[in-house]
């Protein structure tokens, strides 16, 4: 009869070997499962970190764009302020230039130049002492420049009946202007007048061949000191 013990021993060993392999396989599965979980966690962490980084980058870009827009707006405001200041300076310069140019004006408007300065003829003792502006009687006569009335009235305001009614205004720097053959005088001696202010109405009084304004520029208040009034006014920027 064959002994049975060795057979049991071999079978037991085989069962133990199978159990060991199963245990090892199970352990490997457990280890792999744990590793997969760790890897998944690591992937999730990386994804979250990437999302946070992207959000931060977007915020930084938005902040940079806002800063650039603010800087552009500030620069535009400064440029506009500079432009406005430049325009204001130009306007002031233009007004100042206009004021300088308008410091002397025509004594009448809508006129025709007739007898000129130093013109000879039988109407005058020697030559014509001023410039005639042909206008209708009653035309508004204004001060060619601001000053003080030195003479006013009939008899040429003291210069003789040939001038008819007349006015003489004293200006700065020893310059005088005279207005003659007036139909009416609207100022009196000592009165201060401004440039362009009405001082009289034109007429045909005195030694006159027709309605007009006789205008002189003088170096004194009296007859005999006249200079070319057209050249003088043109030198002051007045176009005749």
Check: CB of residue 57 under 8 Å from CB of residue 50: no
The set of residues, in sequence order, having a beta carbon less than 8 Å from that of 170 and lying 6+ positions away, is 147, 148, 149, 150, 176, 221
135: alpha, beta or left? (left if phi > 0; alpha if psi -120 to 50): beta
pLDDT value at position 38? 44
Global confidence as pTM? 0.59
Return the closest-CA partner of residue 177 out of 218, 228, 223: 218
Structure tokens at 148: 């003080």
| pLDDT above 70 for 112 | yes
138: pLDDT strictly greater than 60: yes
Alpha helices in the chain, H assignment, sequence order = 5-101, 229-235
**97 or 237: which carries more pLDDT confidence?**
237
- What average pLDDT does the structure give for the chain? 82
pLDDT, position 89? 83
């Amino acid at each position: 009869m064959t002994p049975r013990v060795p057979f049991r021993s071999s079978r037991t060993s085989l069962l133990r070997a199978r159990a060991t392999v199963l245990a090892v396989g199970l352990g490997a599965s457990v280890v792999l499962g744990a590793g997969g979980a760790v890897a998944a966690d690591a992937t999730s962490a990386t994804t979250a970190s990437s999302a946070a980084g992207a959000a931060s980058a977007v915020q930084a870009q938005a902040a940079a764009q806002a800063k650039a827009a603010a800087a552009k707006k500030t620069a535009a405001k400064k440029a506009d302020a500079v432009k406005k200041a430049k325009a204001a300076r130009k306007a002031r310069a233009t007004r100042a230039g206009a004021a300088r140019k308008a410091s002397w004006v025509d004594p009448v408007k809508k006129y025709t130049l007739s007898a000129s300065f130093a013109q000879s003829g039988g109407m005058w003792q020697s030559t014509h002492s001023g410039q005639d502006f042909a206008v209708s009687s009653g035309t508004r006569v204004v001060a060619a420049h601001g000053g003080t009335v030195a003479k006013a009235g009939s008899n040429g305001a003291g210069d003789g009946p040939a001038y008819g009614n007349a006015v003489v205004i004293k200006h700065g720097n020893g310059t005088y202007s005279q207005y003659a053959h007036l139909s009416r005088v609207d100022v009196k001696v000592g009165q201060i007048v401004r440039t362009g202010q009405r001082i009289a109405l034109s007429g045909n009084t005195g030694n006159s061949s027709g309605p007009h304004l006789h205008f002189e520029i003088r170096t004194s208040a009296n007859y005999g000191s006249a200079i070319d009034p057209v050249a003088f006014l043109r030198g002051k920027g007045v176009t005749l």
